[in-house]
Amino acid sequence: MIDLDERIARILQEHADGPVDTDRLVSVAVNGGRARRRRRRTLGTGLGLVALFGLLLTVIGAPRDVRTPDATATAGVLVPPPARGAAAGQRPELVGTDPATLHFGIDRSRARYLGWEVSPGLEGARLDVGGGRAVTVELARSSAVLRQYGITGLPGGVTTLAAESAFTGATLRAPAERGSTPVWVRHWRPGPGLYARATVTAETGAELDVAARALRLDETRHCAAPVRLTTLPPGARLAGCTVDAPAFPEALTVRLAVAGSGDRRMEISFQYARSIAEVRTQGNRMVGDRAAQLDRRDGAAQLELFGFPKAHLVAAFGWPYQGFTEADAATVLGGARVADDLTRPERWN
Amino acid sequence: MTFEEYVSSRGPALMRLARLLAGDEHRAEDLTQEVLTRAYVHWRRIVRSDRPDVYVRRMLVNAHNSWWRRRSNRELAIPTLVDRPHSGDLGGEAADRDEMWRLIAGLPDRQRAVLVLRYYEDLDDATIAEILGCSQVTVRTHAMRALATLRERSGLPTTNGSRP
């Protein structure tokens, strides 16, 4: 009789085996890595603009001008709340300048939000247009910005397709490994001064047409997140906001980028999932009256603040981030405010 | 060692590890590419560490765990995997292997990761602890729980020759 050790080893061997295209691993990683480096450089230059727009006031909790929530908004429906102010159709130069604001919206009769993002120079949304595959739509003020931003989960080469001449509205099939699900890309100019890109990994590119038609340039929405940072270290500011929730309301992830002078970077992440059963109440630090856990290893460092049911609130300030300290992380986490009801985006922030 | 040299020598092993952690070819490829892309950005720092391969494998395990947390279907998937009756007409040995793979795939992330690193990568507890960012005691606890679960669900006796 084969013992359990041997059975496990044999099963794992069977399921690990398979061809590996090493050349592709190298080329995709190198292209994607270069795109990320460009993105980080863009982040640095974009922060000056962000500061000019008085972002700090927003970060520390200035009152927001919020319209009446959508009549159709209900618990469990993921929609960024409406905001006041000019939209991308009227003021394209505002796109990607305020991490608290999306200068576009989505026709919800055509698409459903799975998430949204604002980074310096770029705004985006992840959509479900009914085909079962997430479509990423990004809006920028130049084709160069879209070339600089990689797309998570897609080969780095996809970004290089965003040449100025590519914004024709045509849907392209991006080069992909034989046998893998194709990647489709559409570049178009939705309005004067605006560049848009939609991508999807699917058998056909039909979903991109739906996503393009769903884009609305006459509305403004908050880059709402169920976590608000009310305190920041001196000289620091919010630099980016990402909400990713394809399984909402079962789960959601928020990432808030905090930046300081030069290359100082820190990321605050909030990950909620109903399936998280772990409850940690004892750590090795205290932040205010809450327990926290500081972990350091090989240059990486993160501080997690406990006390949020089924959720992790973490400030990552060590490698690959840099320039902030444990005290800075404690300052940010100490002032973090988590929404009472995670299922109602219209009440976030 | 350049990044290209590292991927040429260790890329296939990383991909195989990702297959076992993710249980899905496409997800495994995404996971490997994502981690290698990040590794490229920080390669100069990684290659200066004592054990770059341990570091990258740790990135892979963490990225996989983060991915599961983001999607929250980890625990929903487990009963589905475990309780699903056999489909098809697999014969005895094949059916046993299929069943064992389902049981392994249905283990909680950390327990499955320990089994993969121990039985597939053949790493010692100290290295596994380094990759997972936990103590060796925790590694052994995960291993014991995983093995107990596999024995219980596969109907094996509690003393079946597995490493403690």
Task: Tell me the pLDDT tens digit for each residue of A133-158.
Answer: 899 999 999 999 998 877 766 666 67
Higher pLDDT, B20 or A95: A95
Q: Give the lowest-confidence range in A83-92, A235-244, B68-77.
A: B68-77
Distance CA B112, CA B132 (A): 12
B97·A4 Cβ contact <8 A: no
- Which of the given ranges, A152-156, A325-329, B136-140, has the highest pLDDT on average? A325-329
| B4 in contact with chain A, both atoms CB, cutoff 8 A | yes
Q: What number is the average pLDDT over the span A41-59?
A: 42
Nearest to B19 among A15, A156, A273 (CB): A15
Q: What residues of A are in contact with residue B150 (Cβ under 8 Å)? A: 4, 8
Q: List domains and CATH numbers for chain A.
A: 27-52+84-222 (no CATH), 227-347 (3.30.200)
| A25 in contact with chain B, both atoms CB, cutoff 8 A | yes
Do residues A205 and A231 lie in contact, with contact meaning Cβ atoms separated by under 8 Å? no
| B79 in contact with chain A, both atoms CB, cutoff 8 A | no
| B51 in contact with chain A, both atoms CB, cutoff 8 A | no
Distance CA A150, CA A153 (A): 9
List the single residue in B with minimal CA-CA distance to A156.
Answer: B37
Distance CA A301, CA B68 (A): 21
| B26 in contact with chain A, both atoms CB, cutoff 8 A | yes
B73·A295 Cβ contact <8 A: no
Helix (H, G, I), strand (E, B) or coil at B143: helix
Q: What number is the average pLDDT over the span A335-342?
A: 94
Q: Could you tell me the pLDDT band of residue B157, with boundaries at 50, 70 and 90?
A: low
Residue A290 has pLDDT above 70, yes or no: yes
B116·A26 Cβ contact <8 A: no
Share of chain B above pLDDT 90, in %: 5
Residue A34 has pLDDT above 60, yes or no: yes
Do residues A125 and A102 lie in contact, with contact meaning Cβ atoms separated by under 8 Å? yes
DSSP lists the bridge partners of residue A193 as none
Predicted complex: ipTM over 0.90: no
For all residues of chain A together, what is the average pLDDT?
A: 83
Q: Give the lowest-confidence range in A52-66, A164-178, A219-233.
A: A52-66
Tell me: the pLDDT tens digits for B53-106? 888 998 898 888 765 544 433 232 222 333 333 333 445 566 777 788 888 888
Axis crossing angle, helix B52-71 with helix B125-132, rounded to the nearest 10: 50
For all residues of chain B together, what is the average pLDDT?
A: 75
Nearest to A32 among B37, B101, B154 (CB): B37
| B121 in contact with chain A, both atoms CB, cutoff 8 A | no
Nearest to B73 among A36, A40, A247 (CB): A247
What CATH code would you report for B88-164?
A: 1.10.10.10
Q: What is the dihedral of CA A39, A32, A151, A202, to 10 degrees?
A: 170
| A309 in contact with chain B, both atoms CB, cutoff 8 A | no
In chain A, alpha helices (H): 4-16, 22-52, 55-59, 143-148, 206-214, 326-334
List the single residue in B with minimal CA-CA distance to A271.
Answer: B70
B100·A11 Cβ contact <8 A: yes
Nearest to A303 by CA among A284, A289, A322: A284
Q: What number is the average pLDDT over the span A163-177?
A: 84
Nearest to A145 by CA among A183, A185, A187: A187
Q: What residues of A are in contact with residue B162 (Cβ under 8 Å)? A: 3-5, 8
Q: What number is the average pLDDT over the span A114-135?
A: 91
Residue B130 has pLDDT above 90, yes or no: no
Nearest to B11 among A4, A25, A298 (CB): A25
In chain B, alpha helices (H): 3-22, 25-41, 43-48, 52-71, 74-83, 92-105, 109-115, 125-132, 136-154
Q: What number is the average pLDDT over the span B2-20?
A: 87
Q: What residues of B are in contact with residue A29 (Cβ under 8 Å)? A: 3, 7, 33, 36-37, 39-40
Q: What residues of A are in contact with residue B11 (Cβ under 8 Å)? A: 20, 22, 25-26
List the structure tokens of B29.
């490829």
Do residues B26 and B20 lie in contact, with contact meaning Cβ atoms separated by under 8 Å? no
Structure confidence at residue A138 (pLDDT): 96
| B73 in contact with chain A, both atoms CB, cutoff 8 A | yes
| B160 in contact with chain A, both atoms CB, cutoff 8 A | yes
Q: Give the lowest-confidence range in A330-344, B81-95, B130-144.
A: B81-95
Residue found under tokens 């509305």 = A219
Q: What number is the average pLDDT over the span A310-333?
A: 91
Structure confidence at residue A179 (pLDDT): 64
What CATH code would you report for B1-72?
A: 1.10.1740
Residue A61 has pLDDT above 60, yes or no: no
Q: What residues of B are in contact with residue A25 (Cβ under 8 Å)? A: 7, 11, 15, 32-33, 36
Do residues A224 and A349 lie in contact, with contact meaning Cβ atoms separated by under 8 Å? yes
Q: Could you tell me the pLDDT band of residue A94, with boundaries at 50, 70 and 90?
A: very high
Structure confidence at residue B106 (pLDDT): 81
Nearest to A176 by CA among A153, A194, A192: A153
Distance CA B41, CA A60 (A): 32
What count of other Cβ atoms lies within 10 Å of the Cβ of residue B91? 7
Do residues A188 and A172 lie in contact, with contact meaning Cβ atoms separated by under 8 Å? no
Residue B82 DSSP one-character state: H
A244·B70 Cβ contact <8 A: yes
**Where exactly does CATH 1.10.1740 map onto chain B?**
1-72
How far from A309 is each of A77, A165, A198, A340, B88, CA to CA, in Å?
21, 50, 36, 11, 42
Q: What is the dihedral of CA A278, A284, A285, A290, to 10 degrees?
A: 30
Tell me: the pLDDT tens digits for A292-319? 999 887 677 899 999 998 999 999 998 7
Q: What number is the average pLDDT over the span B98-119?
A: 86
Phi, psi of A224 (to 5 degrees): -70, 145
Cβ neighbours for B40, distance < 8 A, ≥ 6 positions apart:
A29, A30, A32, A33, A34, B3
The beta-strand segments (E) located in chain A are: 101-102, 105-106, 112-119, 122-128, 134-140, 171-174, 183-188, 195-201, 215-216, 221-222, 227-229, 237-244, 251-259, 265-273, 285-287, 290-297, 300-305, 311-316, 336-338
Interface test with B, best of A20, A201, A278 (most B CBs within 10 A): A20
Q: B34: distance to nearest CA of chain A, Å?
A: 7
**Which residues in chain A (313-332) have CB-CB distances under 8 A to chain B?**
319-320
Structure confidence at residue B78 (pLDDT): 29
| A278 in contact with chain B, both atoms CB, cutoff 8 A | no
Q: What residues of B are in contact with residue A8 (Cβ under 8 Å)? A: 100, 104, 115, 119, 150, 162
Structure confidence at residue A241 (pLDDT): 94
Tell me: the pLDDT tens digits for B12-32? 889 989 988 887 777 788 889
Residue A83 has pLDDT above 50, yes or no: yes
B19·A26 Cβ contact <8 A: no
